[in-house]
Amino acid sequence: MELARKFRIPALFCASAVLVSELISRPYANMGVCDDGPYILMAHTLATTGHIAYNGWATAMLGWQLYIGAAFIRLFGFSFTAVRMSTLLVSLALVFFLQRTFVRAGITERNATLATLALVLSPLYLMLSVTYMTDIFGLFAIVLCLYGCLRALHSATPNSTILWLCFAVAANALFGTARQIAWLGVLVMVPSTLWLLRAQRRILIAGSAATLAGALFIFACMQWLKHQPYSVPEHIFREAFPIADTFWILTHLFLEVPFILLPILGLFLFRIRKSGPRGLLIISALIFGYLFLSFYPSHLRGEFVLEPTINDWMSSRGAFLFIQLHGMPPVFLPEWLQLLLTIASLGSLLGLIAALLRPRPAAIAEPASVQISWNQLGGLVVPFALAYILILVPRATTAILSDRYLLGLLVVAMLCLTRYYQDSIQSQLPLATVLLVGVMALYGVTFTHNAFAFYRARVALADELRAAGVPDTSVDNGWEYNLNVELQYATHINDPHILVPAHSHVLPSPPGPIGICPMPDFWREYTPHIRPVYSVSFDPDACYGLAPFAPIHYSRWLASSPGALYVVRNTPHSQP
């Protein structure tokens, strides 16, 4: 046991589990996944010119993420997969530090390992770890900051405390350049740590100076970004704030949290039977509220509220759902399974509430090698979580909240959930946790494999059309693919929100006669070079029916049949 602790074997095991899971899923495709296509082209520009040049799509700063992507291009040559492997490398380091952070937060090695695996083997983490999105890079900055703050609270000497505070500030400031919300580490988490250490005057002064330096660095970065050509400004506050829409979107977002945390949260399921009268009353009210949401069709989705409630990256259809191809992807999680997952997620959440409502027993956990009190833990993570949520609220007004935005909160939730179970219910997570983590890992690997098989099918169809003499600009292959096609013909995406240089936005030409298969106005404006004659579709009968091109079938693990993509006509007489 001492040898394993000395060489951090549990943390290395967690990172290895993620690596093996990714290798099994075969995550490669020569096209953009969600927003990462333009980001990958930015990394390519940096690798070839030595300069950061935005291309009209990034609201995130990207920062150090571009440099590690450019380094991989120089080492392995340019490809979408080579750049995405830089994210995988960071995600493995993140897994290592996440397990060590849980241990530093007072969770035993075994429990910390299971809690880490429960989070990082989910479809959300596995999928994002093999894209070039900013989420993993930003989460890395948050976890390093949390780790540094915990080490500062544990330090035996003032000098060591100051050094760990400086580490937390420097790591968060630098690595937060990938995704600005990560800077809540410097702006909230480190000040919270200083508040806990306020009785030590020397530490308070030195830590405040380091925090001020970090804040000035952040301010300088934001000023630099504001003046970069073709960067897209992101405003925290929105002019319009529709309360009803915001409530519904946030409700769907946070109802997905129990589903993602199910391998650990599921351990609380049977605590419901130990609820007292007050607990039963509160639980009954919550069940009624959830049933109201479930049986009142959402005006946002037009269907009942079942897990996964957001249906975005963790989609019931086995692919990132916001793809905007014609037709609908085949179902991966049938409704009966979604219903079971909803019952399990809701029941586990109610079990947690029942456990929290009961008088708290004396701590039963064996003393960890390094311990932190609940008051300290709450003072460190609660202000951060509240600030994080407050930043998410304005995003809900635009109906573009994604489950990937939950990553920072999921780390906090998993930490507190595991620590509470360990302290108040059982010192060791039961063996059932291993089974639940295994089921989540199976789901995560399958989801990642199926998603990338789907992306490879889109690339294969594009190659088939190109071989037949159809230019990429004549094909609507979904906005993820179209963005990179647009950037082959333009210096930037035609985003009307770009402020520098002025007047860079060009009004798109009229679409011509409107048929039954128009390109959405939003994407027609952003990618004006795309004038589709054909579209890629899940439905062979979409638009004006099948074009004379062979469909592409793609692998769907744990599904009854493979998926299929078709080329359909955008006009009645489209010709190759």
Element (H, E) at 163: helix 158-175
Element (H, E) at 569: strand 563-569
Residue 387 in any domain: the answer is no
Mapped onto helix, strand or coil, the DSSP state of residue 387 is helix
Size (the chain), residues:
576
* pLDDT the model gives residue 7: 62
* pLDDT the model gives residue 40: 98
pTM metric for this prediction? 0.93
Residue 318 in any domain: the answer is no
* Cα 529 from Cα 506, distance rounded (Å): 11
- 526, 486 Cβ separation under 8 angstroms: yes
* Cα 59 from Cα 505, distance rounded (Å): 16
* pLDDT the model gives residue 41: 97
* Cα 75 from Cα 40, distance rounded (Å): 15
Listed in sequence order, the DSSP H helices in 121-157 are 123-128, 135-154
* Cα 66 from Cα 221, distance rounded (Å): 15
Q: Mind listing the pLDDT tens digit of every residue in the chain (576 residues)?
A: 555 566 689 999 999 999 999 999 999 999 999 999 999 999 999 999 999 999 999 999 999 999 999 999 999 999 999 999 999 999 999 999 999 999 999 999 999 999 999 999 999 999 999 999 999 999 999 999 999 999 999 998 999 999 999 999 999 999 999 999 999 999 999 999 999 999 999 999 999 999 999 999 999 999 999 999 999 988 776 666 677 777 778 888 888 999 999 999 999 988 877 766 666 666 677 766 666 665 555 444 445 678 888 888 888 887 776 778 998 899 999 989 998 898 899 889 988 988 888 765 555 544 444 578 999 999 999 999 999 999 988 876 665 678 899 999 999 999 999 999 999 999 999 999 999 999 999 999 999 999 999 999 999 999 999 999 999 999 999 999 999 999 999 999 999 989 899 888 888 777 655 667 878 777 888 999 999 999 999 999 999 999 999 999 999 999 888 999 999 998 887 665
Q: Rounded to an integer, what is the distance from CA 91 to the centroid of its chain?
A: 12
Domain enclosing residue 542, as ranges? 449-569
β-sheet with 534-537: strand ranges across: 475-476, 534-537, 563-569, 552-554
Residue 500 in any domain: the answer is yes
Is the four-CA dihedral 201, 204, 208, 210 of positive or negative sign? positive
Residue 61 in any domain: the answer is yes
Single-letter amino acid code for the residue at 221: C
CB atoms within 10 A of CB 295: 9
Residue 506 in any domain: the answer is yes
* pLDDT the model gives residue 306: 83
Residue 211 in any domain: the answer is yes
* pLDDT the model gives residue 394: 81
Nearest to 526 by CA among 500, 487, 499: 487
* pLDDT the model gives residue 5: 65
Residue 234 in any domain: the answer is yes
Place of tokens 């300088």: 220
Out of 204, 239, 274, a domain closes at 239
* Cα 539 from Cα 433, distance rounded (Å): 40
Residue 464 in any domain: the answer is yes
* pLDDT the model gives residue 290: 67
Cis peptide before 551 (omega within 30 of 0): no
Out of 200, 218, 239, a domain closes at 239
Out of 171, 206, 239, a domain closes at 239
In the chain, the number of structural domains is 2
